[in-house]
Amino acid sequence: MTKDPLRTKLCDMLGIEYPIVAFTHCKDVAVAVINSGGFAVLGEAMHTPDEIVADIKWIRERVEGRPFGIDLVLPASSPLSETLDDMLAKIPETHREFARKIKQEFDVPDPKGPVALHQWGGLNQEIARRQLDVLLDERVPVIASGLGSPAFILDAAHERGMKVFGLVGKTRQARRQLEAGVDAIIAQGYDAAGHTGAVGTFSIVPDVVSIAGDTPIIAAGGVTTGRHLAAALCLGAAGVWTGTLWLASRESDVDMIIKEKLLAAGAEDTSWSKSISGMTMRVLKCPWTEEWAKSGAPEVLPAPYQMLLSSDYIQGANDNRRGDLMTEAAGQGVGFLTSMKPARQIVFDMVEGALDALEQLTGEPE
Ligand SMILES: Cc1cc2nc3c(=O)[nH]c(=O)nc-3n(C[C@H](O)[C@H](O)[C@H](O)COP(=O)(O)O)c2cc1C
């Protein structure tokens, strides 16, 4: 009997059917993917400890003991305990002036409430630590760190029977995390949505696989179809980690205006820009990213200061649902999103597409 090509060491480690990981901020998407045989990691970096506890409970009540993950951001570069007001006071007048110019030129409305960044784990290390403590108390099956090495929590997590995944954009980051003993690495390429490095998915994945030994490597960046899943397995990955794919799903709580923009967008409608957070980040192009890309724009501030500066624009656009201004993290694979499908259908289409692609290669039904 031939081996099931979709049954990988990641499936064995997590007890899941398909090696498909959804990164999402939407609990309904997470539960739909988990209950369809995949794995989901919920992004909680923007939430208070109480909100995180409530979300974990909500998921546990719906997945019948199946595992799930929670993602935080743990950048070592963030300030220790500065408050939002301390940080806002450090933004130079030149940068405020440039932001005001954009606001005026594009008629960007004011946000409807205070800037919702005070609880972001990337703002300072005290906030991130409080979020992390909740995950340890709750013994969530998997902790993932989207930014920054999670090596310092390995002992505490392993003592509690939890697994720790690290996301990297460079092979040397992967090497350090592998030496520290992380349980899996997400090797993410330039195509990806959100914070991402300069190395392409086809280059980083096999490079990290080559140094990983038995540790599962999960490919990320542009993975949106079954062909991508098949290709990732051929590159030596034990699964795929996907973000953009779920944004326009039926269950997704993303604003319908953004869903429509995503369905209409192609790879070239994304921008790899530091202008949102101070770190390279792939998002849908919008006036904010385009103005900062022009010559004469001030140099982008380091994280988290640039994020504080951009948040007035982002929140003003979102709160007032101005489609011409709104943006969202989106990867180059966005062009493969063509309809609003239920998450369960997305999982099954990816599985079927991967099996078809592999069958075409070998001439044998898998
Ligand atoms: C809307 C959105 C928000 C994201 N926010 C985070 C985040 O908070 N933490 C994180 O680790 N990754 C975040 N990511 C990146 C994903 O974890 C994932 O690595 C990326 O989407 C993979 O590339 P793909 O979009 O091409 O599938 C985000 C992605 C999207 C689409």
pLDDT of residue 85: 83
Q: Which residues does ligand 1 sit against, CB inside 6 Å?
A: 23, 43, 45, 71, 73, 146, 167, 188, 191-194, 220-223, 241-245, 247, 328-329, 331, 333
Phi-psi region of 278 (alpha: psi -120 to 50; beta: other; left: phi over 0): left
Q: Whose CA is nearest to atom 12 of ligand 1?
A: 146
**Amino acid (one-letter) located at 258:** I
- Compute, in angstroms, the gap from residue 136 CA to the centroid of ligand 1: 23
- Compute, in angstroms, the gap from residue 62 CA to the centroid of ligand 1: 23
276 domain residue, yes or no: yes
90 domain residue, yes or no: yes
Q: Which atom of ligand 1 is least distant from the CA of 147?
A: 11
* pLDDT in 10s for each residue of the chain, 366 residues: 468 999 999 999 999 999 999 999 999 999 999 999 999 999 999 898 999 999 999 999 999 999 999 999 877 777 666 777 888 899 999 999 999 999 999 999 999 987 777 677 777 778 888 999 999 999 999 999 878 888 889 999 999 999 999 999 999 999 999 999 999 999 999 999 999 999 999 999 999 999 999 999 999 999 999 999 999 999 999 999 999 999 999 999 999 999 999 999 999 999 999 999 999 999 999 999 999 999 999 999 998 899 999 999 999 999 999 999 999 999 999 999 999 999 999 999 999 999 999 999 988 666
Helix (H) or strand (E) holding 263: helix 256-264
Of the chain, the end-to-end C-alpha distance in Å amounts to 10
Q: Residue 280 burial by CB count (10 A; 0-12/13-18/19+): exposed, middle or buried? A: middle
- Compute, in angstroms, the gap from residue 146 CA to the centroid of ligand 1: 8
Could you give phi then psi for residue 21, rounded to 5 degrees? -110, 130
Domain count, the chain: 1
Name the residue range of residue 63's domain: 9-361
The residue with tokens 């008629």 is 107
109 domain residue, yes or no: yes
> Candidates 23, 223, 253: which one to mutate for ligand 1, based on the most atoms within 8 Å of Cβ?
23
313 domain residue, yes or no: yes
Q: Whose CA is nearest to atom 28 of ligand 1?
A: 194
Instruction: Give the pTM.
Output: 0.96
**Amino acid (one-letter) located at 162:** M
DSSP string computed for 297-310:
PPPPPPTTHHHHHH
Report, in this order, helix, strand and coil percent for the chain, each rounded to 5: 45, 15, 45
Q: Which atom of ligand 1 is least distant from the CA of 243?
A: 21
311 domain residue, yes or no: yes
2 domain residue, yes or no: no
pLDDT of residue 1: 44
| Domain harbouring 115, CATH code | 3.20.20.70
4 domain residue, yes or no: no
- Compute, in angstroms, the gap from residue 359 CA to the centroid of ligand 1: 30
Q: Whose CA is nearest to atom 21 of ligand 1?
A: 243
pLDDT of residue 362: 85
- Compute, in angstroms, the gap from residue 366 CA to the centroid of ligand 1: 31
200 domain residue, yes or no: yes
Beta bridge partners of 284: 270
Q: Which atom of ligand 1 is least distant from the CA of 144?
A: 11
Q: Whose CA is nearest to atom 17 of ligand 1?
A: 23
- C-alpha 270/C-alpha 286 separation (Å) is 9
pLDDT of residue 303: 84
